[in-house]
Structure 1
Amino acid sequence: MSQTFPVASDLSATWSFIQPGLEYILGAEGDQGVTPKMYMNCYTAVYNYCVNKSRHGSSNAPINATTGNNSYSLAGAEIYSKLDEYLVKFVNNLKKEPDELFLEFYVKRWTRFTIGAGYMNNVFDYMNRYWVQKERSDGRRDVFDVNTLALLKWKAHMFNNNADQLIDEVLEQIERQRNNEIVDTYYISTAIKSLVYLGIDIQDLKKPNLVVYIKHFEHKFLEKTAEYYGRESARFLSQHNVVDYMKKCETRLSEEVSRSNNYLEDHTKKPLLETLNDVLIKDHAQAMYDQFLSLLEHNEIEHIQIMYKLLSRVPFTLQPLADSLEKYINDEAAKALEEIKSAAETQEETTRVDSKPQRRSNSGLVSPKTYIHTLISIYVKFNDIVAVAFSNDPIFIKSLDNACRRFVNKNSIAMSSPKSSCKTPELLARYADGFLKATSKEADIIGMTTENLMIIFKFIEDKDAFEEHYRRLLAKRLINGNTKSDELEESIIQKLQEENSLEYTSKMTKMFQDMKSSEDLKNTVREHLKQTDNTVKDFSPLILAQSMWPFKHSDDYQLNLAPELLPAFDKVQEIYNKKHTGRQLQWLWNHGKSEIKANLSKKGKPPFLFTVSNVQLMILLAFNKSSTYSFEELLNIVGVAKHTFESHLLPFTKYKLLEQEPAGQEFFSNNTTKFTIVDEYKSKKLKVNFVSSIKTEQKQEEEDANKEIDESRKNFLSACIVRIMKARKEMKHNELVNEVATQSLSRFRAKIIDIKRVIDYLIEKEYIRRIGNDSYEYLA
């Protein structure tokens, strides 16, 4: 390049001066770059030309339409045109070597060209800042800064003419990389980035534009990706098992994510993952479903976790997996419960053959502990699987909950027939009673916890049935002083309240209040007994609210109180009447127990301590007056119903405290049969419990409980219907039934027939009336 600057007004001379420098800048002379002096000479020549033209104008230039004067914009138009022609010629003259891939040629030349374009943009900086900027502000959208102009010429004359070849070679390199061949990712990355740079919005040069990238590369890339992995996945599954395929999927997905981070635009990442998910996962989801049960059976948690992670990438594919899990849990639960039922039946058969009768569970052959722990073991097993393998995904938590609700409420042990009521609430209440009773042996209650109770409680549908059975057993524990811990009892009631409602535990809470409020009465009575010479040494009366406790006064227990006990009982009545007026006390003789000293030991030995029922107490006290009575005489003394008297008398003859004459079961209830108390009782134990041997009326208790549950449900449904109708005034039959069924779910699963019966009852009582064939109206 000549050191003498051209005449500033001479365009040809100026261009001839700077063109050699542009050749060096753009790399036409190979890797030899432009020198600082050459760079400054080019900049100065362009600057001089533009400044000179701006000052003097041009007689050949058009007049500015706005001002009427020679336009300032003429300062760059001619040299801009020269540069445009030069860039077109420069790009068209670029040729690749015969042994060179087009991709390599393109990337090398693009890299050098864009670097040069940046420097060239600085050379024409004065023109960019004044002429180009003014032209674009005047609305010219065909004029650009030099850097943008260079990119547009590259796009028009290099990229557009070779786009298909370039993209094909890029995709070929990507496929080779997927096949684990070594490729130079620099060429792939640079070529793809060039498409982004070439996405120029001529209306707004600052606005990002991916039109070129999406049109020429992204669509083709996604299509080829789908084809590649479609072929590979089908081939791999035909030669390998599903577990290996899932591991292969994980590897491939990880590779593609890494690849996308290296040279793909963010815009492509989402559709790429969607394409991969469709081809690798959705299209082969059925194969995973088919393998799922086998993995569950073999407890392959790690592989299930891989399956879940893959399927979770396509969310709608998870539901069939969750449905399979739910069915599998139900099947496993049914097997486990059938096994313990069969084992219990086998044990019962063996016991019957050995002719040594054993006490049978109150609710069937399977003990509450075995039953509840079996349910718990199933829940814990699959809860762990849901937590570890499925990361506590709500879909799988719901499946576990649905399965638990089903096998807890509907199984071969809980349901003796499809129409029978579920026994699980009762068994759960008896399970709780087992570890809450103070008399339970530690060995018998190992593993029985409050946590187990609350887990199963959460799943039972008939919560009102559990409440009734639990309350009845709690009442027995309280009045018999048989609770292991008041704090434990109250903590369970608190948890039941939190799980359900304050109303749910209101009766149980009141029962505890009654027990505490009875303390003052007990203390007063005890003080009185200390001051008097009385047969009764200790007395703990309890005042219970009739509406809260599950006890009813029975005509079968019209007990005749022994004369020696009358002062103590009269004192209770006197103390209570002073505090409360207008209230009536009813003694529940069929509940509670007494301890009595019996001087029937050998001389020098302490007396026996008998635990007896109230009826048994009256029987034994009668023998203070006479050593022998006939059956009829004792019955008249005690005063209770004959069948009740028999059940309480029998333990005395069974354990040889009373001698029967004539002996034999067939003579036991004859009026003339004599009963004589022994002079010396032969028991090896000083404490003897005769209450535990009384034949309980368990069937009657169950009937009473079921009757109470049915009555409570009828009242609940009645109140629910009236409340809904009062708010809505009018309602269609199906809407009312559905609303009532929904509201009752917190307590029990209401049957449609029961709701209809209550509706008919309320119509009869004129709370509501029918309108037409399928609607009801509330009557104020």
Structure 2
Amino acid sequence: MTDLPKSNDLTATWTFVEPGLQLIIGGSEENSGVTPQMYMNVYSAIYNYCVNKSRTPQNLASSTTNQSSLLVGAEIYKKLKDYLITYVSSLKKKQNESFLEFYVKRWTRFTVGAGYLNHVFDYMNRYWVQKERSDGRRDIFDVNTLSLLTWRDVMFKPNSDLLIKEILEQIRLQRENQVVDTRSLSVAIRSFVLLGIDTQDLKKQNLDLYTTLFETPFLEATKSFYAAESNEYLSSHNIVDYMRKAEQRINEEESRETLYLDEHSKKPLTDALNDTLIVAHSQTLYNEFNNLLDQHQIDHISKMFNLFNRVPSTLEPLAKKFSDYIETQGLNAIDNLLNDTQNEASKESVTNEDGSIAPKKPNVSKSQVDPKLYIKALIQVYQIYQKIVSSAFQNNPIFVKALDSACRSYINVNSIAKPLNSKSTSKTPDLLAKYSDNLLKKNKDADATSDMSVDDIMIVFKFITDKDAFETHYRRLLARRLIHGTSSSEEAEESIIQRLQTENSLEYTSKMTKMFQDVRASNELKILFKEEVTRDWENSKNIVPDFQPFILAETMWPFNYNKTNFQLPTDLVPTYTKLEEIYQSKHNGRILKWLWSLGRGEIKANLSKPGKPPFTLSMSLYQMAIILPFNENDSYSIGELMELTGLDNQTIIASIVPFLKYKILNQSPLGQDNLKNSETKISCISEYKFKRLKINLFNGVKLEQKQESDDAEKEINDDRKMFLQACIVRIMKARKNLSHTNLINEVIQQSHQRFNAKIIDIKRCIDLLIEKEYLQRGENQTYEYLA
């Protein structure tokens, strides 16, 4: 092959290059080496033929012929095409090899040779092939593409069924943990992609061949294999073992994707695995979920979540089961707390009329439940499942929402707060406010509040639906702490208010903030009062110098002013007069309304033996008005005390009972019923014997507990009516005209942050605003805003 053939002789040229083509494309195994000299000779012979034929004199003589028509290659292109068909048809597998082995070996060699062959015919590719395709000939291809198409038509298509069968068999064996040649699988499957040639656009990848002939049967075989395996495995193993097996199989298939599948197959394969291994057995997994929660198997729960997370549609039913489970646990925790409280109460005994002792019948009201135990029971359930949401469910929004929904349900409606289908208001806001009060009040027993925290308050606050009720109850207790000086820390108080404001709104805590401002202003007034008394000491000897006045904004504080006939004790009149004088000099025109029922003070009682220190008695202002007259006389009738103090019989009785209990005053005749008699005598003892020198006689909380609850409920209802009316006016002012349904929906949406508005209450507020001429009814159940 050292002498090149004549450049214008097709037969000689082809006879010269054909042995070289045989070696390049991978012909005889005995003579498979291709030398550089031989390669260049073949290239040169083809090049010379194409160039020479394009420049023949007869072609050059025609001046009217287009230059592109001079390009020649059809004869040699046909020779090559016939040769490739003959070559591929001649390939036969050996008896001792499978078709897959034969196919992979010959395909690998053929594709390498086709690449070299493409270079050999480079001149023809660049000129003649390109010209023909630009002229619209879509049956003409570059040599590499021609080689692949020849292989597809002659070798691949006639044997595709056998090839796919053997590929799928190898994959099945691999799934059964047998060793297979993964490289051969990869090459064979890759050939499906390479042979998917779009003859209209060679640059465009066409996966029709791959998806139709391989991917579809592969996915069907995969589903069939794993459906049978999963059913058999579940029949002899538990759910936890199955989840491990499913996870292992999915990981194996993902590795298989990387090794020899096309990118296109990843999603269909993932869907097939999900449907077969997860969705098909989802109900069985759901049924086991509660058992895993009972056993607190976080790792197994996490494994179940990871499986279901592959199929988002399966998460909602799991989240629903999770929510129902949490709600049940929360309700059970409260039921257990109520039962424990009743059991403790039943341990107490009573004495019967015949002198026998019998167990006391438990009659535990919701108000008697310890707020700390109640709030801790709520929080404990939340914290257990919040950890599961965090660790097992990776804070997935669906499960965060499920946890919130369940907590909101059992926290607001349970056997203590509000039985199911009850129309009463939930007691949780009230109990949470009392829990806060216990935490923030001064407490001699530090251990009693050691496990209580502000975080507990905020956790439960997040879930209560009647946030306005909590604000009312909390503000009432805050007012008591501020007025009576029982708050443990002003910083702690303000910290909670700041967090409530962050969680809700500035408007939500506006009244509380104003209360602190009033207390600070009152402290300044106290200092001014003391300075005035000290400056004019001669004329102020009858004034109490340590008097602490509280000047409160009437609309911000939860105290109701009731005009009474109460007569201030003579000893306190100078102090009262001096304060009025100082305040009016600073704030001319303001009217002070005195809340006598909230007054408290201390009295020194010289009832000890001579030489011993006096007793210090802490009491309400009403009690002071009752006890001070005994400085003048040793005995008064109930009627005389009523006349001296201006108090009614019920208040007199409630105020005297603590004195009788501690035996500072004596009653004649004895008996609770006799206290209602205005002729009953009350006398003061001359010498008092008691171990402690300080005695707290104040029973205001007990006196006003029922009234306090009623006032709070009334305030909540009144505030809600005003809030709903404000919402309606605000909405209608912006819309001018709105249908009944849309107005109801918008009011519910705007009030959701404070409380769950009832439709009947909204309707009543609409009717009230129509009466006030804010709105008027229009046609077709609409309302119009009246400017």
TM-score range, shorter chain: over 0.9
Is residue 378 of structure 2 the alignment partner of residue 382 of structure 1?
no
**Would the aligned equivalents of 2:347 and 2:360 in 1 still touch at CA under 8 Å?**
no
Deviations 1:270-310 (A, max 9, x none): 11101111111111111111111111111122111111111
Is residue 395 of structure 2 the alignment partner of residue 392 of structure 1?
yes
- 1:695 to 1:25, Cα distance in 2 relative to 1, 3 A: closer
**Would the aligned equivalents of 1:721 and 1:736 in 2 still touch at CA under 8 Å?**
yes
**Would the aligned equivalents of 1:281 and 1:310 in 2 still touch at CA under 8 Å?**
yes
Q: Quick check: 534-543 or 673-682, which moved more? A: 673-682
Among 494, 519, 524, which residue is 2:523 paired with? 519
Instruction: Name the SS of the counterpart of 2:347 in structure 1.
Output: helix
Distance in 2 between the 1:537 and 1:578 partners? 19
Question: 1:154 is matched with which residue?
Answer: 151
Following superposition, the deviation at residue 141 of structure 1 comes to 2.1
Amino acid at match of 2:51: V
RMSD: 2.3
Distance in 2 between the 1:188 and 1:110 partners? 12
Following superposition, the deviation at residue 191 of structure 1 comes to 0.5
Deviations 1:338-371 (A, max 9, x none): 1111111122222244889999998523111111
Is residue 126 of structure 2 the alignment partner of residue 129 of structure 1?
yes
Q: How does 1:171-186 map to 2 (within 5 A)?
A: 171-186=168-183
Question: 1:660 is matched with which residue?
Answer: 667
**Would the aligned equivalents of 2:240 and 2:300 in 1 still touch at CA under 8 Å?**
yes
Question: 1:414 is matched with which residue?
Answer: 417
Gaps of 5+ in 2: 352-356
Distance in 1 between the 2:424 and 2:549 partners? 39
**Sequence identity (%):** 53
Is residue 546 of structure 2 the alignment partner of residue 549 of structure 1?
no
Is residue 13 of structure 2 the alignment partner of residue 10 of structure 1?
no
Question: 2:39 is matched with which residue?
Answer: 39
Deviations 1:191-225 (A, max 9, x none): 11111111222222222222221221111111211
Among 104, 107, 113, which residue is 1:107 paired with? 104
Deviations 1:86-115 (A, max 9, x none): 111111111111221111101100011111
Following superposition, the deviation at residue 484 of structure 1 comes to 0.9
Question: 1:267 is matched with which residue?
Answer: 264
**Would the aligned equivalents of 1:25 and 1:120 in 2 still touch at CA under 8 Å?**
yes
Deviations 1:661-719 (A, max 9, x none): 34443433433333333333212112211114874231111111111111111111122
Is residue 231 of structure 2 the alignment partner of residue 224 of structure 1?
no
Instruction: Name the SS of the counterpart of 2:254 in structure 1.
Output: helix
Question: 2:27 is matched with which residue?
Answer: 28
Following superposition, the deviation at residue 729 of structure 1 comes to 2.7
Is residue 462 of structure 2 the alignment partner of residue 458 of structure 1?
yes
Is residue 195 of structure 2 the alignment partner of residue 198 of structure 1?
yes
- 1:523 to 1:62, Cα distance in 2 relative to 1, 3 A: farther
**Would the aligned equivalents of 2:346 and 2:361 in 1 still touch at CA under 8 Å?**
no
Deviations 1:243-290 (A, max 9, x none): 211111101100000000100110110111011111111111111111
Following superposition, the deviation at residue 755 of structure 1 comes to 1.7
Following superposition, the deviation at residue 58 of structure 1 comes to 6.6
Q: Quick check: 638-647 or 374-383, which moved more? A: 638-647
- 1:635 to 1:57, Cα distance in 2 relative to 1, 3 A: farther
Question: 1:78 is matched with which residue?
Answer: 75
Question: 1:368 is matched with which residue?
Answer: 371
Deviations 1:480-539 (A, max 9, x none): 011111111111111111112111111111111101111221001112333332352411
Question: 1:472 is matched with which residue?
Answer: 476
Question: 1:404 is matched with which residue?
Answer: 407
- 1:563 to 1:255, Cα distance in 2 relative to 1, 3 A: same
Q: Quick check: 92-101 or 417-426, which moved more? A: 417-426
Deviations 1:735-763 (A, max 9, x none): 22222222211111111221222222222
Among 723, 729, 737, which residue is 2:730 paired with? 723
Distance in 1 between the 2:705 and 2:722 partners? 26
**Would the aligned equivalents of 1:103 and 1:170 in 2 still touch at CA under 8 Å?**
yes
Question: 1:481 is matched with which residue?
Answer: 485
Deviations 1:543-577 (A, max 9, x none): 0011111112234x533222222222111101111
- 1:294 to 1:445, Cα distance in 2 relative to 1, 3 A: same
Q: Quick check: 420-429 or 440-449, which moved more? A: 440-449
Distance in 2 between the 1:621 and 1:708 partners? 36
Question: 1:613 is matched with which residue?
Answer: 620
Distance in 1 between the 2:211 and 2:66 partners? 46
Instruction: Name the SS of the counterpart of 2:777 in structure 1.
Output: strand
Q: Quick check: 557-566 or 244-253, which moved more? A: 557-566
Following superposition, the deviation at residue 775 of structure 1 comes to 2.8
Question: 1:536 is matched with which residue?
Answer: 544
Following superposition, the deviation at residue 62 of structure 1 comes to 13
Instruction: Name the SS of the counterpart of 2:55 in structure 1.
Output: helix
- 1:70 to 1:395, Cα distance in 2 relative to 1, 3 A: closer
* TM-score between the two structures when normalised by the length of structure 1: 0.95
Is residue 564 of structure 2 the alignment partner of residue 566 of structure 1?
no
**Would the aligned equivalents of 1:480 and 1:592 in 2 still touch at CA under 8 Å?**
no
Q: Quick check: 411-420 or 538-547, which moved more? A: 411-420
Question: 2:354 is matched with which residue?
Answer: none
Amino acid at match of 1:197: L
Question: 1:298 is matched with which residue?
Answer: 295
**Would the aligned equivalents of 1:63 and 1:69 in 2 still touch at CA under 8 Å?**
no
Among 331, 337, 342, which residue is 1:345 paired with? 342
Question: 2:680 is matched with which residue?
Answer: 673
- 1:357 to 1:702, Cα distance in 2 relative to 1, 3 A: farther
Distance in 2 between the 1:432 and 1:173 partners? 70
Following superposition, the deviation at residue 376 of structure 1 comes to 0.5
**Would the aligned equivalents of 2:345 and 2:362 in 1 still touch at CA under 8 Å?**
no
**Would the aligned equivalents of 1:529 and 1:538 in 2 still touch at CA under 8 Å?**
no
Distance in 1 between the 2:120 and 2:733 partners? 87
- 1:200 to 1:314, Cα distance in 2 relative to 1, 3 A: same
Amino acid at match of 1:590: S
Deviations 1:156-181 (A, max 9, x none): 11111111111111111111111111
Instruction: Name the SS of the counterpart of 1:291 in structure 2.
Output: helix
Instruction: Name the SS of the counterpart of 1:743 in structure 2.
Output: helix
Q: Quick check: 361-370 or 406-415, which moved more? A: 361-370
Question: 1:508 is matched with which residue?
Answer: 512
Question: 1:258 is matched with which residue?
Answer: 255
Deviations 1:134-187 (A, max 9, x none): 333333322222211111111111111111111111111111111111110111
Question: 2:54 is matched with which residue?
Answer: 54
- 1:63 to 1:539, Cα distance in 2 relative to 1, 3 A: farther
Distance in 1 between the 2:350 and 2:249 partners? 66
Question: 1:435 is matched with which residue?
Answer: 439
Deviations 1:4-39 (A, max 9, x none): 222222221121111111111122121722122221
Question: 2:165 is matched with which residue?
Answer: 168
Gaps of 5+ in 1: none
Is residue 121 of structure 2 the alignment partner of residue 117 of structure 1?
no
Among 586, 590, 593, which residue is 1:583 paired with? 590
**Would the aligned equivalents of 1:62 and 1:70 in 2 still touch at CA under 8 Å?**
no
Following superposition, the deviation at residue 324 of structure 1 comes to 1.0
Q: Quick check: 47-56 or 213-222, which moved more? A: 47-56
Distance in 2 between the 1:584 and 1:322 partners? 60
